[in-house]
Amino acid sequence: MVRFMITLWLAKLAMWVYKLRGRERDDRPGLLAIKLCPDFLRRIKKPPLVIAITGTNGKSTTSALINNKLVAEGLRVSFNDWGANLYAGFALNLMRCVNIFNGCRYDASVLEADERTLDVSMGQIEPDYILVTNICKDSLRRNGHPEYIFDIVERTFNMLGKKTKAVLNANDPISSQLAQNNERVYYSVADFGPQPFENIVRDIEVCPYCGARIEYNYRLYRHIGDFYCPNCGFKTPPARYEATEVDLAARTMTVNEEGAWQQYPLISDAVYNVYNVLGFVALMRELGRPAAELADFLRTQQVTKIRETCVEFNGIKYYTYGAKSQNVSAASTVFEYMAKEPSTKDVVLLMDELQDKNHPPETLTWLYETDFEFLNSPNIRKIIVGGHMYLNHRLRLLLAGIPPEKIVCVEDEADIVEHVDREGIEKVYVLFEIDFVSKARRLRDSIVERAKEEAAK
């Protein structure tokens, strides 16, 4: 206990110093706390409500909605919205909730949690709820394969037992099998006809219990849908919250909650965001928030600016759009969206992981699990790739069947600007690795500036 208290004081002092320097989101004080006291996360007092959101994709959007709702209610909420979803980030987050005597002064903590380290972190934090958005193919280097991640998350639920309630995506054949010994509740989406593309590789193809091929009554994207095994009882579990009517154009969904119906606004027209909003609804309903109140709240929400921004000039909309390089499922899903979003567009790929540029280089395997084939779409006029991996992108795009005349690959990202069309298109999407939001915006702004210069001539 003495060790913990001294650690808390030192880490809080460091936190104060960083705050004075305008770096209150720097998680090094949290790192210090973990180093000095390895069970810091277990010992620190937690707010009365702790919610963890994990999964391969969608956790940032979902956790932001949860945080925003609790804050809108007037609760004092600590939220690691700066992407620090590992031990140090959790320590910093929870330190904000306590005074120097380890007395908790916050009402809630919302923790976006990295799934690969979930067992160690949440084993200590013991959250009241863990919402698992999905488990999909992700970065090889960070996450190995979905089965590896499933085992880690399952181990977490086994450790937590009855302390933690699981909120799960019933339409995911992988993550829906979690928390078999915990209290758990499901959400699902009925078929609304999005006609998903076929991925070159699915995240799961065989029944985890008998090895037979998984079949679908319908699929909404990737491996997400109403699944069953023709050989055993493995199938989509019944959901307490089912989105029965989804209208992407109108951005609404109607949720059937055990016979009670409520329409909710959606925050975007992307299929995966239906699940993000539905996961939010399911969790907040489990917390007892009235459905109509949640619907009113969602009318005030939009996709976080970390993921998507837009400016318009001369009738062309210029977007930055988070796509997650190395994350096979996220990148493929965004590529599918690019093909289905009907506007005529140029797509800029800014997806190199910069930390890989120097030491060591980026792995290339993700290029060949990701569906670049989806970009071979008539509404995509040009694909422009920049960065040190440009030759590999060029080869991948060619092998995806994309006509060479549609492909522009340049080593220097600054040269991208010169190749973006300024007429004959409706939109430009800069798809970027999400760690580099500012860089993407700078490039997008340079493209717009160049368009303005041309227009002024």
Partner 1 sequence: MKIEVLFPEICNLYGDLANVRYLKACLPEAEIVETSLKDEPLFARERPDLIYMGTTTERGQLLAIEALRPYREMLEAAIEEGVNFLLTGNAGEIFAREIVEEGEKVADGLCLLDFSARRKARKRYNSLYLGEFIPPEGASAAGENAAGENAAGASGSEPLKIVGFKTVFGFGYGDLADQALFTTERGYAMNPDVKYEGIRRGNLFFTYIIGPFLILNPPFTRWFIAHVLGKTGTELAYEEAAMDAYLTRLKEYSDPNTGFTY
Site residues for partner 1 per CB under 8 A? 140-141, 144-148, 151, 200-201, 205-206, 208, 211-213, 358-361, 363-369, 391-392, 394-395, 398-399
| Separation between Cα atoms, residue 96 and residue 14, nearest integer Å | 12
For partner 1, which is the closer residue by CB, 342 or 403?
403
Of 131 and 367, the one with the shorter C-beta distance to partner 1 is 367
Minimum CB separation of residue 223 from partner 1 in Å reads 12
Nearer to partner 1, 212 or 414 (CB): 212
| Smallest distance, partner 1 to C-beta of residue 320, A | 27
Q: Which residue's CB is nearer to partner 1, number 284 or number 367?
A: 367
Nearest C-alpha neighbor of 131 from the set 81, 59, 47:
59
Residue 207 identity: C
Minimum CB distance to partner 1, residue 33 (Å): 26
Nearer to partner 1, 195 or 358 (CB): 358
Residue (141 or 419) nearer to partner 1, CB: 141
Q: What are phi and psi of 289, to 5 degrees?
A: -75, 135
Q: Give the Å distances, CA to CA, from 294 to 66, 189, 245, 278, 287.
A: 10, 18, 17, 11, 12
Contact 317, 427 (CB under 8 A): yes
Inter-axis angle of helices 118-125 and 87-95, to 10 degrees? 20
**Helix, strand, or coil here: 381?**
strand
Q: How far is the CB of 137 from partner 1 (least distance, A)?
A: 8
Exposed/middle/buried for 63, CB within 10 Å: 0-12, 13-18, 19+? buried
- What are the residues whose beta carbons fall under 8 Å from the beta carbon of 395, sequence distance 6 or more? none
User: How near is the Cβ of 146 to partner 1 at its closest, in Å?
Assistant: 8
Question: Using CA atoms, how far apart are residues 224 and 243, in angstroms rounded to an integer?
Answer: 14
Find the shortest distance in angstroms from Cβ 154 to partner 1. Answer: 13
